[in-house]
Amino acid sequence: MIHFALLISRQGKVRLTKWYTPYPQKQRSKVIKEVSTLILARGPKLCNFVDWQGCRVVYKRYASLYFCMCIDPADNELETLQIIHHFVEILDRYFGNVCELDLIFNFHKAYFILDEILIAGELQESNKKAVLRLVTAQDSLVEAAKEEASSLSKIIAQATK
Amino acid sequence: MEQLRTIGRELAMGSQGGWGQSKEFLDLVKSIGEARSKAEEDRIIARELEHLKRRLADPDVPRRKMKELLLRLVYAEMLGHDASFGHIHAVKMTHDELLPLKRTGYLAVALFLDERHDLVILVVNTIQKDLRSDNYLVVCAALTAACRLIGEEAIPAVLPQVVELLAHPKEAVRKKAVMALHRFYQRSPSSVSHLVSNFRKRLCDNDPGVMGATLCPLYDLILEDPNTYKDLVVSFVNILKQVAERRLPTSYDYHQMPAPFIQIKLLKILAVLGSGDKQASGHMYTVLGDIFRKGDTASNIGNAILYECICCISSIFPNPKMLEAAAETTSKFLKSDSHNLKYMGIDALGRLIKINPDIAEEHQLAVIDCLEDPDDTLKRKTFELLYKMTKSTNVEVIVDRMIEYMINITDHHYKAEIASRCVELAEQFAPSNQWFIQTMNKVFEHAGDLVNIRVAHNLMRLIAEGFGEEDEGADSQLRSSAVDSYLRIVGEPKLPSSFLQIICWVLGEYGTADGKYSASYVIGKLCDVAEAHLTDDTVKAYAISAILKIFAFEIALGRKIDMLPECQTLVDELSASHSTDLQQRVYELQALLGLGKHAVESVMPSDASCEDIEVDRNLSFLNSYVQQALEKGAAPYVPESERSGVISVGSYRSQEQQETSAYTLRFEAYELPKPSLPLATSQASMSTPTTDLVPVPEPGYYKEGHQTSRSQPSGDSLSGEFGVKLRLDGVQKKWGRPSYSSSPTPSSSTSSQQATNEGSHSDGGGSTSSQTRESSYGSKRQQGTEISAEKQRLAASLFGSSASKADRKAQASRKTTKDSPSTEKATVTNAAPQPVKEQVIPAAPPPDLLDLGEPSSPPSADPFSQLEGLLGPASASPVLSETPATSSSKTPDLMSIFSDDVQTGATSGSTEPTLGDAKLKNFHKGATAGAAKKGPSLQDALQKDAAARQVGVTPTGNNPNLFKDLFG
C-alpha cells in the first residue's frame, strides 16, 4: 500500500502532497522534511529506493521534480516506480509536455488526476485512456460553467456601461 | 451598479491568466518562488493566510471566488502552514450544487481532514446524499472522498449505498465502489465481511478496470484466510493467462506489456494461494513458465513482473524447473548495471536461498560487490540477505561487517535495527565466549542507547547463567573475560548508559570472583564511573550497588576492607543526594559495613543472582505473629468479599477502586523513580516476606540487617528480567485492602538517552582485533595484493565451505583456507582489510545537479502515439481471431466479456472525435499534440513560455527548470 505521495522540487519546495495514511499536520511537515533531505542528497545512478523509518520511499526525478511514494517494505519497488511513471505519462498527456509550472499553477488538476489513478493508497486504474476520459469529463463541466460565467459577466459589463 | 461590476469582474477572473488562475494567486506563487529564504516564504504565506481569513469570513464572497480562495488555502497548507480556520469553508463547499465547486470542496476536504477529524461528521451527510446522485461524476467525487474520510463508525451510514453502486452502469463508479469497500474492509473488517461474495462477483466484471480493482480487496482477504479462496486458483490462473496472452484491450498495455499492473497483482495473489499447497501450485507452473519466457528484461515494467514471478515461485510449492528459471532471472538482475535491478536481485536471492541455499554460491562476488557499493540502500539490502544466510561458520565475518557499518551511520532507526540483528546473530551463532563478549561490547559501545533495554538485561543474564552448558569452568571463563574487557573499557569517555549499567553490574557481581583483580582496584574503577556520570542517576545507582556487593564479598571472605578516600567521598556525596534511591543504597552500604561476617554472608551470598527465589505463598512464617496478635485480642482478618456488612461500600469500592485509593492511605510501597538494581535479586530473597507491606515488627529481620525490611519493588522487576519474578498474585492476603498485590511494577527501562559516540571508534583495548586488522591492512597495502583475491577470500568466508569449488577454480594457490576453524579465522582477518580500504575511497563523485538525464529513459518511440495507432482494428484482431471455445469452457464470461469491451472501446475511440463540441476542444488539442509529438514539442513549450511571460512569471535563477518538460 502507498502511504503517501510527494512531489518536491530540486530546491526542496513541495509541489504536491497526498496522504493515504492519516498523518497529523505537524508530523506531515516533519515527514516531508526528512524524506526530502534524504532524497535530494542522493546522487544519480543510485537505487531509486530509500529506506525510511521502516518504510520504503520510491522516488524518481523528472527534470527538476522529484516524485516520491512511500510504500510498505514488502511491496514491489519496481512496480511503484512504474506507477510513478504512469502518473507522469498521464500528466504529460493531459497538460501536453507537462512542466513544473503546470503543476504549480494547476496543482488541483494534478490532484484530480492522482485521485483517478490512486485511491486509498492502491492503484485503481492502469488504463491511461480511462483516466483521461474521466478527468476530461469532469473538466468539461467546469468549462461549461466557466463559459456561462463569462457570458454572464459580459452581459453585466454591457449593462453597466 | 458598483456591486454588479465587481461581480462581473470576479466572474471573469476564472478565465484570466495562462493557467486559469487569478492574478492574485499567480502573484502569490511567483513571490514564493522568488523568496530567498524560508523565513521570507513563511512571511508571505502568513500574510496570505491573514488575507484569506478575512476574505473567507466575508459573507458576500461569490461562490466562484470562494473556490479559488479554497485552493489558495490548500496551497498554503501544502507548504506546511496551519490553515485550520478554513476547513469549515471546505466542508461548506461540498454542499454546493455546482459540480466544479462541489468537486473542489471534496478535494480540499480530503486534503485537509482525515477520518479522525471532528468536522468529518458534517461531511458524512453530504457524501450520503451525493452517493445517490444521478450524475455519475458527483457519485465519483463522493466515493473518492469516502475512501479518505469515512472512519470505522461512519461505515454503516454509507455502506448500503456503496454496495448498491457495485451494480452502477458506469464502470468508473463500480471501480471506485470496489475500492471504497476495500478501504472499509481495511478500517473495520467485520463491517464488510458479509459482502465478500460481491468481490467474487466483481471479479467477472465486464470492465477489466473493475476486475483489476477487485484484485486489491481480494488480495487482502486471501492474505487473511487463503483456504476459503482456494476455489479461485483456477480462475486467477486463467485470468493471468489471458492477460499475458494480450486478450485485454490494448489501452491497458503499458510500455508494450499487457496490463502489467494486473499481472503483478495476480502474481501476488497466486503466491499466497499456492504457499505450501502442492495441488494449487500445480495449476500455476505453466502460466508462470510462460511469463518467464515472455519476460522482457529490457524494460522496467518487464522486470517488475519478473521479480514478482520470482517472489511467487519462492512462495509456492517448489518446482525445480521453475526455481531454475527464477535463479536464472535473478542472476540477470544481479549482473545488471542498474542499481535498481541489483537491489531487486539481492532481494530475490534472499527469497530463493530459503528454498535452496546453494543458489547463493554462484553469486557470491556479485553479493560482495553490492555490499561494498557506495549506495546505502543497496548495502542495507545486502545486509538483510547476509542476515538471512548467517551460519555458525560465517557469523564472525557478517557480524563484523554489520558492526563496522553500524558505527558509521547516523540514521537512528536503522542503527537500532542493525544493532539488534547483530545481538541476535551473536547470541545464536557465537563461536566463542571471547568473541561474543567483544562483539557485544562493540554493539553496546556504539549503539547502546538505541537497543532495547531488554537486550542489556539479556546480556547480564547470559553472563550470569553462562551458555547453559554444564561446564562451570566455561562459565567462569566467560565471566572473567567479560570482567577483563570491561575493566579495560570502563575508562572510555561517553559510553552509553545501558552499557555502563551492564559493566557495573558485571564488575560488582564477578569483578573479584577469580581473584585476578583486587577489590580496591575494582572499587576504584566503579568510583570513577560514578564520578564521571554525575547526571545519570541510574548509572550511579548501579555503581554504588556494585561497590556494596564487592564489600560484602570481601567481608564474607573475612578480609579486611579499607575504604578508599574516593569511595568515601562518593558515599558522603550520595548520602546527601536528591535521589532517595541513591541515598538508600548508600545507607545500605554503610549499614552493611558495620555487620559481622556471618550476617553479610547471608545478606549478600556470593554469585547468587541466578538462585531461584522461593516464595512462601501462604505467608506461613507470619502465622505465629498472627496467632500472637489474635491472642492479644485483635480482630481476625475477613476477606473483603466476605464482609457482609459493607456490601454496598464494597461494590462501590470495586467500581471506583482508582478514585478511592486516592483518598485512603496507601499501603503499597511507592514505586522507585529509578530502574532496578542488579544487587536486588540476591537481596530480594531476603526481603520477600515483607515485600509491598508496611514493615512488620518481626525481630528476626532486624537482627539480620535492617535494610532488608524495606520493600524492594525494584528487585521485583529485575528478577522478572531474570525469569524468577516474585509472584505475588497468589499470595494469601493477611492485611489491608485486597488490591495490595497489584502494586505497580516500576518500569526498569528509564534509561536516559545520551548522545551516541558515533565518531569515536578507536575503542582502545576493547577491540584488539580491529587493531591487528589495521596493521595487517597496512602490510597488505604495501604488498599491493590484488582486490579480486581479497574479494574471493571474503566470499569464501561468507559463503562457507560450499564455496570452495568456485574458490579453487578462481585461485588455485589458496588451498589451506577451509581446513580448520582456526585457519578460517585467519582468512577472516585477512579479508577484513578490504572493507576498510573500500570505505576510505570517497563514496561517489558529488552528484551533478544539472544532470537531467534519467537512468532509464522512456523508449524512444513515443508510447502514446503507438497506443493511439494500435487502438482500433489492430487491438481487436488478436482477440477476435482467438476466441476458441477451449479456454472459454473454463472461464465462461471473461473471454467474451473482454472481447466485447474491446469492440466498444474501439468504437468509442472512433466516435470521440465526432463528439468534438467546444467543451472538449481543449482536451483534444492536448491529446493530438501529445499524440503527434516525438520528444518535446517546441511549439507547446513556446506557447507556455509566452503565457508565462504574459502573467509575469519568469523562471528565476532559483529554479530555471520551471519550464523544463518533465520528460526533457
A161 in contact with B at a CB cutoff of 8 Å? no
Give the C-alpha distances (Å, rounded to integers) separating B88 from B19, B93, B125, B823.
27, 9, 15, 74
| Cα–Cα dist B367/B381, whole Å | 10
pLDDT tens track for B186-199: 999 988 888 888 88
CA B377 to chain A, closest CA, distance in angstroms equals 6
| Subunit contact B867:A120, Cβ cutoff 8 A | no
The segment with the largest mean pLDDT, out of B216-220, B631-635, B913-917, is: B216-220
Q: What is the pLDDT of residue B561?
A: 74
Mean pLDDT of B383-400: 89
| Subunit contact B21:A105, Cβ cutoff 8 A | yes
| Subunit contact A96:B71, Cβ cutoff 8 A | no
**Residues B479, B529 contacting (CB under 8 angstroms):** no
Dihedral angle, C-alpha A63, A66, A71, A77, nearest 10 °: 30
Q: In the structure, what pLDDT confidence band is assigned to residue B937 with cuts at 50, 70 and 90?
A: low
For residue B315, pLDDT over 70 is answered with: yes
B700 in contact with A at a CB cutoff of 8 Å? no
Q: What is the pLDDT of residue B600?
A: 80
| Cα–Cα dist A30/B641, whole Å | 54
For residue A82, what is the nearest residue in chain B, using CA coordinates?
B301
| Subunit contact B107:A115, Cβ cutoff 8 A | yes
Strand partners, A38: none
Pick B340's closest partner by Cβ from A18, A78, A138: A78
Secondary-structure percent of chain B, ordered helix, strand, coil, rounded to 5: 70, 0, 30
pLDDT tens track for B331-367: 999 999 999 999 999 999 999 999 988 888 888 888 9
| Subunit contact A149:B11, Cβ cutoff 8 A | yes
CA B286 to chain A, closest CA, distance in angstroms equals 23
The x, y and z cell numbers of residue B716, run together, are 521485583
Query: Residues 74-113, chain A: which have Cβ within 8 Å of B?
Result: 76-79, 81-83, 85-86, 88-89, 91-102, 104-108, 111-112
| Cα–Cα dist B698/B712, whole Å | 17
Q: In the structure, what pLDDT confidence band is assigned to residue A55 with cuts at 50, 70 and 90?
A: very high
Give the C-alpha distances (Å, rounded to integers) separating B754 from B108, B454, B766.
43, 17, 21
Pick B413's closest partner by Cβ from A10, A54, A127: A54
Pick A142's closest partner by Cβ from B8, B100, B959: B100
Mutation choice for A interface testing from B137, B923, B928 by most A CBs within 10 A: B923
B625: three-class secondary structure by DSSP: helix
For residue B303, what is the nearest residue in chain A, using CA coordinates?
A78
pLDDT tens track for B679-691: 444 444 444 443 4
Q: In the structure, what pLDDT confidence band is assigned to residue B956 with cuts at 50, 70 and 90?
A: low
Give the C-alpha distances (Å, rounded to integers) separating B109 from A60, A69, B114, B146.
28, 21, 8, 11
CA A69 to chain B, closest CA, distance in angstroms equals 16
Rounded to the nearest 5°, which phi and psi values hold at B619?
Answer: 50, 45
For chains A and B, what is the number of CB pairs under 8 angstroms? Answer: 310
CB atoms within 10 A of CB B568: 11
For residue A116, what is the nearest residue in chain B, using CA coordinates?
B144
For residue A48, what is the nearest residue in chain B, using CA coordinates?
B340
B848 in contact with A at a CB cutoff of 8 Å? yes
| Cα–Cα dist B361/B309, whole Å | 22
Pick A123's closest partner by Cβ from B261, B933, B937: B261
Residue numbers in A near B77 (CB within 8 A):
25
Pick A88's closest partner by Cβ from B339, B905, B966: B966
Q: What is the pLDDT of residue B307?
A: 95
| Subunit contact B78:A16, Cβ cutoff 8 A | yes
Q: In the structure, what pLDDT confidence band is assigned to residue B216 with cuts at 50, 70 and 90?
A: very high
For residue B733, pLDDT over 60 is answered with: no
B79: three-class secondary structure by DSSP: coil
A37 in contact with B at a CB cutoff of 8 Å? no
**Residues B312, B335 contacting (CB under 8 angstroms):** no
| Cα–Cα dist B599/B618, whole Å | 26
Q: In the structure, what pLDDT confidence band is assigned to residue A122 with cuts at 50, 70 and 90?
A: very high
The x, y and z cell numbers of residue A138, run together, are 469532469
A51 in contact with B at a CB cutoff of 8 Å? yes
For residue A33, pLDDT over 60 is answered with: yes
For residue B846, pLDDT over 70 is answered with: no
CA B348 to chain centre: 20
Q: What is the pLDDT of residue B64?
A: 78
| Cα–Cα dist A17/A9, whole Å | 12
Query: Residues 41-80, chain B: which have Cβ within 8 Å of A?
Result: 64, 71, 74-75, 77-80
For residue A155, what is the nearest residue in chain B, using CA coordinates?
B8
Which has the minimum average pLDDT: B16-20, B269-273, B511-515, B840-844?
B840-844
B101 closest CA partner among B69, B143, B59, B134: B69
B379 in contact with A at a CB cutoff of 8 Å? no
For residue B114, what is the nearest residue in chain A, using CA coordinates?
A22
B346 closest CA partner among B324, B323, B363: B363
User: Under 8 Å CB-to-CB from B627, ≥6 apart: which residues?
Assistant: none
A115 in contact with B at a CB cutoff of 8 Å? yes
Q: What is the pLDDT of residue B662?
A: 52
For residue B146, what is the nearest residue in chain A, using CA coordinates?
A120
For residue B815, pLDDT over 50 is answered with: no
Residue numbers in B near A43 (CB within 8 A):
844-847
For residue B307, what is the nearest residue in chain A, using CA coordinates?
A76
- Percentage of chain B with pLDDT > 70? 65
Query: Residues 174-233, chain B: which have Cβ within 8 Å of A?
Result: 175-176, 179-180, 182-183, 186, 208-209, 212-213, 216
For residue B906, what is the nearest residue in chain A, using CA coordinates?
A129
Render B187-198 in DSSP notation, one character per residue: H-HHHHGGGHHH
DSSP state of B856: S
CA B853 to chain centre: 33
Gyration radius from chain B CA atoms = 37
pLDDT tens track for B528-581: 888 888 788 888 889 888 888 888 888 888 777 777 888 888 888 888 888 888
The x, y and z cell numbers of residue B4, run together, are 454588479
